[in-house]
Chains A and B, each alone.
Chain A
Amino acid sequence: MTPDSATAVISVHEGNIALGGRPILRGIELAVRPGEVVAVLGANGSGKSTLVRGLMGLTPWTSGDIRLFGDPLASFRQWQRVGYVPQRITAAGGVPATVAEVVGSGRLSRRRLLMPMGRRDREAVRNAIAAVELTDRTHDAVGHLSGGQQQRVLMARALAGEPDLLVLDEPNAGVDHHNQIGLAETLRPMVSAGATVLFVLHELGPLASLIDRAVVLREGRVVYDGPPPDDATLEAFHDHHPPRLHSDHVPMKSGWDL
């Protein structure tokens, strides 16, 4: 445990993830302090989604000291403090579900078994739907919404739990410019109010103005950690080392990143 990791919202020291025996993330060092807005950037296959899935406990770490809110990930129980927005093409399941129902499931970490939603819960769901400007679609089926609107439903689901830390995995993938700006505007008041946010992004886009710090991954390692780079610099991180084709090289198959 480093001195920083006690106060940090997210801290990773010597973090390694291997999938099916193949090292994907290697020697990751990352600390996100309260109130920071950090973007994890990198090309496809750089391991950025794996990093977030690891932090959310969805992909096991092979080794390393991983902490959320100061607690080791393995014994972390305060999941109501975390809002997760997965990377998703659709928010619909095999049975239709309304916007209110999907957003309501974001409230579960704060509810007790067999108890109906209380006034406080219903209010939180209503506010979360209002924050993503879908109030007039509250009772519509999620499957009938556009891709951008479905992404906003997933966003509202994370907000409904009133988290201290918001983690968004590629929130702008497949979302038009108009909705990307909407997402930035939705997050702005939360960021001003002191929320900690971790994004996984392919490019900064309209979110750039919110971001304090960028962490760039390349082939499973952190290659940059500092102020958000401009697009040209970011491009160079992706491109200026042409992919090597040695036989001992971890192939950058997109499948590993999912």
Chain B
Amino acid sequence: MNLLAYDFMVRALLAAAFTGFAAPAVGTYLVQRRLALMGDGIGHIAVTGVGLGLLTGHSPVWTAVIVAVLGAVLIELVRERGNTSGDVALALIFYGGIAGGVMVTGLAGGSAQTLQNYLFGSITTVSPADVWTVVVLAAIVIFVAIGFSPQLFAVCQDEEFARVTGMRVRVYTITTSVMAAVTVTVAMRTVGLLLVSALMVVPVATAQQVARGFKVTIVVAMLLGTLASVAGVVTSFYANVAPGSTIVLIALAGFVAAWPAGALLRRRRRLAEPFPVSDEEMPHDVVPEQHGHQHGDDCGHQAVEHGDHIDYVHDGHRHAMHGDHYDEH
């Protein structure tokens, strides 16, 4: 059975590929700002937008974009005020969004099935117009996320430092939120509003297992996101289930597969971490025993930096070469 023989599958795959590429790009900035769950909140708010679209007969994608952007800006302003009730204020916005959406959809006479298409994604209902909207919006998000990456990185890394370099920080924080809102609505036809945040965050978490830098993390996450969404749509076609679930499960499987590699890297790094040096001369003992071999790069014992020399760790000892013998450090 050739998937590409079906027009709706071509559209779904196109939408999935762009969504999978854009979502982790925005997700990386959200994770960096420790706002990993923001996508969920915006997804909840976008439900109201979908409901309004159904009620008024406009395209739900566009009404969702508008409502989600307004919601994202509202979230950003609440967060910026930084008062202790910000957390609760966000919760109120989220719940208001999803409850409002369910009610408005009901008023519009929409069935549970209609709303479900938006909550968990649906490949068969992606219209040609939807595909163009998704592709154009996703392309804009990718352009901004990559083109302004030095600025966005600086703001997400350290807002106050960015301000002291003369940057207009608020422009960039709001840009990040608006990008998140646009991504959520772009993704709602493939992953669905309730699972979109997973596509923004899970590939980033996977990439972090192996990456040391920001640039590598964002690039790897975008590739993983594309892979998961395309594979998810294909799987959902054969399994006849909502694509959101397969996309997210495949992304999570990627994380599970990368985790052992990450754990191994972390363990090796911890072992190789230099021992602290004190300023005073430490008394130490000469190791009486003879070593069966010379410690070196390839002796198999963990080599650890210790001040101006290397300690070799074995059997709970730290041995450092000193002329013709080893010292216990």
Contact = CB atoms under 8 A, between A and B. Distances in A.
B217 A95 contact: yes
A57 B34 CA distance: 24
A58 B274 CA distance: 37
Interface residues on A, range: 35 or more
A190 B163 CA distance: 24
A57 B163 contact: yes
Interface string B161-183: 11111110000000000000000
A139 B214 contact: no
A199 to B, nearest CB: 16
A75 B196 CA distance: 42
B158 interface: yes
A39 interface: no
Nearest to B204: A95
A245 interface: no
B36 A94 contact: yes
B32 A58 contact: no
Contacts of B151: 108, 113
B165 A139 contact: no
Contacts of B32: 93-95
Interface stretch (B69-77, B205-213, B308-316): B205-213
A105 B153 contact: yes
B79 to A, nearest CB: 15
A164 interface: no
B90 interface: no
Question: Interface residues of B: mostly helix, strand, loop or mixed?
Answer: helix
Interface in B1-60: 28, 31-34, 36
A65 interface: no
Contacts, number: 99
Contacts of B150: 104-105, 108, 111, 117
Nearest to B207: A95
A56 B159 CA distance: 13
B87 interface: no
A109 B34 CA distance: 25
A113 to B, nearest CB: 7
B269 interface: yes
Contacts of A177: 279
B157 A102 contact: yes
A106 interface: yes
A113 B144 CA distance: 11
Contacts of A176: 276
Interface string A113-155: 1100100000000000000000000011100101000000000
A140 B273 CA distance: 12
B215 interface: yes
Nearest to B213: A98
In the A-B complex, the 6 residue pairs with the smallest Cβ-Cβ separation, listed nearest first, are A79-B166, A105-B154, A98-B213, A109-B165, A95-B32, A84-B164
Given A95-B204, A97-B213, A140-B212, 11 more contacts: A86-B158, A96-B208, A101-B213, A105-B150, A105-B161, A108-B154, A108-B162, A111-B150, A139-B212, A139-B213, A141-B212
Interface of A: 56-58, 77, 79-80, 82, 84, 86, 91, 93-98, 100-102, 104-106, 108-109, 111, 113-114, 117, 139-141, 144, 146, 157, 161, 176-178
